[in-house]
Amino acid sequence: MDSNRIREQIDRMAADLLGQQSQDGAWRMCFDSGTMTDSYLIIVMRLLGRADEHLIRMLAARIASKQEANGSWKVYPDESGGNLEATAEAYFALLYAGYYYEDDPRMVNAKQFILQRGGLSEARSLLTQVMLAATGQAEWPRLLRIPLEAFFSDSGIGLDLFSLSGHARVHLVPILIMANKQFVLRSITMPNLSALYVGSSRTFTNDATWISALSGFISSLPLSSLLEQHSEKALEGAEKFMFDRIEPNGTLLTYSTATILMILALVALDYSPQSPAVNRLLGGILSLICKGRPHLQVASSEIWDTAMLSYALREAGLPSHHPAMERAGAYLLEKQQFRTGDWAMRMPHTPAGGWGFSDVNTLYPDVDDSVASLRAVRPYATEENGLIANWQRGLNWTLAMRNEDGGWPAFERKGKQLPASFFTFEGSSDISTDPSTVDLTCRMLGFLGNELEMTISQQWLDDSVRWVLSQQKRDGSWYGRWGIAYIHGTGAAIQGMMAVGVSPDHPAVRKGLKWLLGIQNSDGGWGESCTSDKVKHYVPLHASTPSQTAWALDALIAVYDKPTPAMEKGMEALLQQLAKRDAAYSYPTGSALPGSVYVHYPSNNYIWPMLTLSTYAKKYGT
């Protein structure tokens, strides 16, 4: 492998990144999660009577540009056939926008696709069903008619809301408010989607499977609770829950989707659509629109991008005293969180100190962003400036997040779980809980080993490695929750274990490497379909992506003392991918909600390739 080519590529990427940095030190890249949020924004703006025609027209044009030849929309490019929920949302939004009409050929094709898939009754996504029900296009699902006392009861009756993950909670509470009130909001210009049903019923077909779960839940509650299901006290508790979690920019825990639901819930609680509270929430949503692009982000990724990009630049050779690095460090230090969030319920004696994903996040730190930020700010948190105590506090918080099984979750330590059958929406098992995951655990191991020189000689770290080993699949791979998917998990597992002293000859490591080498593409790279994340087994993309190629190469580089032919072929493929920037360059390799929401991080095409190229050059002296 030509060392000059590697160095030139690193230098090009570094120069490109330095040109994109904001004045405050952050990198702000568009967190592209498809058309779902764009569709919801059009719908809610029309419902509220907000006539920002330029924005609505731009959003509608973006949605229309994503339509497939068969009339459908997809949630990832190679999704088989198309996606019913994404198509229904896009169809609804485009008609409601007012710039597309039912007899437009593209809308006719979309309608035909929806009907061929069984119509709106076959929608499985929770958010899709809620948006249809809240606008009177469908009946409210029976499972969501849960008395609010189930979660907001002074007498402790019912279920623990905090058994759910934080992101599930802030979406579920406004939904339950609406469902309890059987809330419907319409406007004169709203399209009628009744022609998108096959038959006369406007219920969802999977609603029938909820009856047993719902009946079992209701029978477990005292009768007095059921009689009070519409009590003002429970509604007040739910309302307070939402307002207590508003971030400084006006979003509900930084999620645009949760904030849209909160707006509708407030209207259900008799707030005026023009009220200051609704205006503040809508302003928060609009603050998440990508700069220079008509796309509403689910959440913005400034902390993650800034922490990881500054780390990649450091590994590429940029010194810590470089102005860009110092600006990034100062920015991240200012974003450390010192407010107590819901995570403290399971860690009551741990001071706050983590970092979140988004610029304005003050209540919802997570392990991955905290690890990335701790690494990035370490040179700038010193005894001289008095910030070393804050850095240590962040480390303590992150270590305290470790679960009893030895792994790390994303947002909160593991709590009690609701019955597995309680929700049967598509993807509910992936979002309703927040278990330990291999990818986050092994990035934590990589930080502890590479940055703090910790090893498995410490029993608690050895226990964490044992948990990782227990998660290996029969074929040798590991599943990664937050990236796509088995390449991501396997690369992270091998790299993390190597960092804390696991032997390169360990049978699990060798088995993982064999699996990676067995799925290498003919061009030398690696690529995996988002379908893997949905069906929970490896599905090839039949193309190579920069981030997935880098993840696989990271594992090989961590193990082998010398470059191998497969590694050199992979490095050549990576350089080619970065140069040609074909369709695979923008393939979504981030997972938000398996089966429903996938994310293209523009930063992924810088972070992981730069780290891989830099590590290869350092280790092998090229």
Active-site annotation, residues = 368
Q: How many helices (H) and strands (E) does the chain have?
A: 25, 2
Residue 120 in contact with residue 138, Cβ under 8 Å? yes
Rounded to an integer, what distance in angstroms lies between the CA atom of residue 28 and that of residue 383? 30
Residue 438 in contact with residue 470, Cβ under 8 Å? no
Rounded to an integer, what distance in angstroms lies between the CA atom of residue 50 and that of residue 544? 43
Q: What are phi and psi of 597, to 5 degrees?
A: -135, 120
Where helices occur in 541-621 by DSSP H, the ranges are: 546-559, 565-580, 604-620
CA-based nearest residue to 479, from 423, 427, 536, 426: 536
Where helices occur in 269-322 by DSSP H, the ranges are: 276-286, 302-315
Which residues does 399 contact at the CB level (< 8 Å), separation at least 6?
none
Q: What are phi and psi of 454, to 5 degrees?
A: -85, 155
Rounded to an integer, what distance in angstroms lies between the CA atom of residue 520 and that of residue 320? 36
Rounded to an integer, what distance in angstroms lies between the CA atom of residue 81 and that of residue 343? 40
Rounded to an integer, what distance in angstroms lies between the CA atom of residue 102 and that of residue 121? 20
Which residues does 14 contact at the CB level (< 8 Å), separation at least 6?
313, 316, 317, 318, 610
Residue type present at position 510: R
